[in-house]
Chains A and B, each alone.
Chain A
Amino acid sequence: MELKLVTNTARSAVIELTESGKYYTEQSYDIYVNGEKFAESNKVITSLYGLTPDTEYEITAEYAGKKVNTISFRTNYEYVTLNVRDFGAYGDGVHDDTNAIQCAIMACPKDSRVYVPEGVYKISSIFLKSNLVLDLAKGAVLSAFTEREKFPILPGIIESYDEKEEYNLGSWEGNPLDTFSAILCGLNVENVVITGEGTVDGCTSFENWWHNPKERVIAWRPRLFFINHCENITMHGITVQNSPSWTLHPYFSKHLKFIDVKIKNPANSHNTDGLDPESCEDVLVLGTYISVGDDCIAIKSGKIYMAKKYQIPTSNMTVRQCCMRDGHGAVTVGSEIAAGVKNVHITDCLFMNTDRGLRVKTRRGRGKLSVLDDIAFENIDMDNVMTPFVVNSFYFCDPDGKTEYVGTKKPLPVDDRTPSIQSLSFKNIKATNCHVAGAYICGLPEKKIEKLTFENIYFEYAKDAKSGVAAMMLGCDESCKKGLVVSNIENLILRNVEINGCEGEAVVADNVDKIERD
């Protein structure tokens, strides 16, 4: 067990107590700052607020009666604090504070912060700028309006004057389409930290953005947070909730950190994914709690047009010490993955009450650039997850997803439209209270999954297991307590896989070239 400094700003720090549990520590523990007891925590990743700029700190912890190591660091230098109240924000929950907060942001010099004190600030869209720290105090709520007329629009494509190039701003479900600007929006900015104990509330209900959610009215629904072509962006500590659509949507951006963020949307809300990095590179998600109405994390890289034009996969992503609950999928890859996804590692996480643990959603038509490779899950506890592993190569929830071409189980010729899955690996996973199936894995018959590894996996089924549909594909009917159902795989590796309480065969394999089994 070791205490580590994860990151710090001028006013806060994040620490990690390693080998103490998954998201939650096995026991609560005390944190000492400069020798004084500062806080108590029951989480592996903990944020500390109320620090002062340019100051030396020593931090230690006492876990189960024993002191762990001490870490020393200096908080960042801070030039000025711009309090949004000084810029005319009311924070009374009524007045439109968009302009005042935007003014503070635009006025913010380097090494400074925009401070939002306690209060409810009604806003539409706020735009970030480079070299900014936006600090939401405890009790500060950026509370969004929900009237379409109040939101600017990010056009999908703006063609250059010479008609040779195009400028893409808006994005909707993998395509460059007109979208209302996000509540917090960054375009071509860098070095931004959004931090604090406050909240960004989309205030969405079934009477506004979630009404007729699949219908474009003027433009597509806004995200709660959208960054496009940004670098070095950190979101830390804050709570984001009631998002109009996908909650956090980084797009063609790199070097991103989401640390100790709380993402909360109602379980029945429409398409309110938690975090959807799309064509992004170097993404860290750490100590984050996600409970939403769709997928907790959905990793994407666009549909055909964007993938062909820019060919940027999502790559080098780490999800660690996170808790996902009440979503359709805990970590989903897809369905808009036409430029591929590679090097995604999910470790030391807790999945609770989600429909699926890993969920891969792909289909014919995503294209030959849609290569999924090196996707690994390790040290995961799942409880009450309906189906822990689902790989669906026939995903039909697309405008044209229920066609014969997408749905047929017969092999079709491999061509430019055929996606592929190379390597999926699952190790050290305990899945208790499973319901529908342990795993439901379907590759394409004409392009099988190259390598699928299950190692040190324990499945146990709920006594009152509920039936359900494992994958959104034609021919996948309701089932209950199935074991491992796998098809269209080149090399399947099963090492130390224990399946307790399933009904029928533990492993049902169809069209699998090679099975390595101990």
Chain B
Amino acid sequence: MQCRNIILEGKIKEWLKSESFIKENVTEQAAVLQSLIHLYHATKDAAYKDFVMAKVDEYIKKDGSVDFTFEEQNLNVFYLTNIFIFARNLFEEEKAAKIAASCGADSADLAKIENPYEKAVLILAEKLNTQKRTKTGIFMNKESKQPVDLLAGTYFSQPFYMNYETILGGKERYNDVIAQVNQVQEVYEAEKAALSQKENAYFAVAAQMYACALIDTMAVSSQQVYEVYNQLRAYFKVVVKDLLNADVKGLHMAYAILKGCRLKALHTELYADRELAILLESIENAEKDFASYTQEQKATLVLAYAESLENRAYQNYLELK
């Protein structure tokens, strides 16, 4: 668990205030909001949560209808809808707190209040049924069957799909999630020689995103369906080892490995040091010229930074407070 970096967070807050975020750029928006959700979880700083909620409210009306037209067959809809699940959970927590505080007086009325974010998630989750797939059943991003797109597409879609199934779907389609991941893993295995080929640099980027997808999907799966949980963990370890063997470096990878250590998918002793060093070097650079980074570079840095702040103890007794 690293200490909070006041300089970096000052720059992050400045960024959030000063820059304009374009609603139509869904992938970028989702990346930024996802990183801020992690930062909120790690710091409990309301500024990050408030920013996320303000952005979410630009997409979802108070009645739960969706005020945006997503591009057809683009998996980024699921990337963003995972942010809406955060909003849904927050709404439920606040509702539960109000019910507890009411001491029974208005609890029945409070319980009846509909969660608009949940309604929006349910609407958008319908797209899972119509998303086009490869012959082997993998969700395709805009009908691309390119391996790099299938790996990156897994990052956009499967954490949401699993999160949705765990919270709202009754775990009915866990089998579909793991069946897709099984197929993506086959694609990865067939192509992974490209990790060490400089001319295929984007494959290493996509493989890092795939590692993130695996650990993020595992994190939101029910441990009680252990076969699925453990299979995701096993694939994650394979991909991480391949990335390390190919000497790939990057903040997505740092995030994935640090998270893997926290969730006990990896030995912290064996894996964390290199990634922390990469992250700290990146933070040092960012302290100097954060403003020059693209939105997605900023988001990735924040994501990895937030992960490094998380209580490294898996059993987090702060949860009880």
Contacts and interface: CB of A to CB of B under 8 A. Distances in A.
Contacts of A216: 223
A27 B317 CA distance: 55
Given A153-B315, A161-B267, A163-B267, A176 B172 contact: no
A400 B315 contact: no
Interface stretch (B29-37, B39-47, B225-233): B225-233
B175 interface: yes
Contacts of B320: 148-149, 217-218
Interface in A344-402: 398-400, 402
Contacts of A38: none
B316 interface: yes
Contacts of B175: 400, 403, 405
Q: How large is the interface on A (under 10, 10 to 19, 20 to 34, 35 or more residues)?
A: 20 to 34
A305 B224 CA distance: 11
A476 B52 CA distance: 46
B319 A304 contact: no
Contact of B317 (A149, A175, A177): A149
Interface string A492-514: 00000000000000000000000
A175 B315 contact: no
Contacts of A304: 226-227
Q: How large is the interface on B (under 10, 10 to 19, 20 to 34, 35 or more residues)?
A: 20 to 34
Nearest to A302: B226
Interface string A129-165: 0000000000000000000110001011101010100
A303 interface: yes
Nearest to A173: B224
Contacts of A157: 264
Given A163-B267, A400-B172, A402-B172, A305 B319 contact: no
A471 interface: no
Interface string B139-179: 00000000000000000000000000000001110110000
Interface string B223-258: 111110010000001000000000000000000000
Contact of B171 (A172, A218, A400): A400
Nearest to A304: B227
Contact of B225 (A148, A218, A400): A400
B183 interface: no
A176 B226 CA distance: 8
Contacts of A178: 314-315
Interface in B263-321: 264, 267, 270, 314-317, 319-320
A219 interface: yes
Q: Which of the listed residues A172, A175, A176, A219 has the most CB atoms from chain B within 10 Å of its own CB?
A: A175
B239 to A, nearest CB: 14
Contacts of A399: 171, 222, 224-225
A157 B234 CA distance: 13
A305 B170 contact: no
Nearest to B231: A305
Contacts of A398: 224
Q: Which of the listed residues B172, B224, B267 has the most CB atoms from chain A within 10 Å of its own CB?
A: B224
Contacts of B270: 161, 163
B317 A218 contact: yes
Contact of B226 (A163, A303, A402): A303
A155 B316 CA distance: 14
A155 B223 CA distance: 13
A400 B174 contact: yes
Contacts of B316: 218
B211 to A, nearest CB: 16
A32 B267 CA distance: 63
B289 to A, nearest CB: 39
B227 A305 contact: yes
A276 to B, nearest CB: 16
B242 to A, nearest CB: 14
A202 B206 CA distance: 51
Contacts of A148: 317, 320
Contacts of A219: 315
Contacts of B227: 303-305
Contacts of B226: 175-177, 303-305
19 contacts: A148-B317, A149-B320, A153-B315, A157-B264, A159-B267, A161-B267, A177-B223, A177-B224, A217-B319, A217-B320, A218-B319, A303-B226, A304-B226, A304-B227, A305-B226, A305-B227, A400-B174, A400-B225, A403-B172
Interface of B: 170-172, 174-175, 222-227, 230, 237, 264, 267, 270, 314-317, 319-320
Closest 5 CB pairs of A and B: A175-B226, A400-B171, A399-B224, A305-B226, A304-B227
Interface of A: 148-149, 153, 155-157, 159, 161, 163, 172-173, 175-178, 216-219, 303-305, 398-400, 402-405
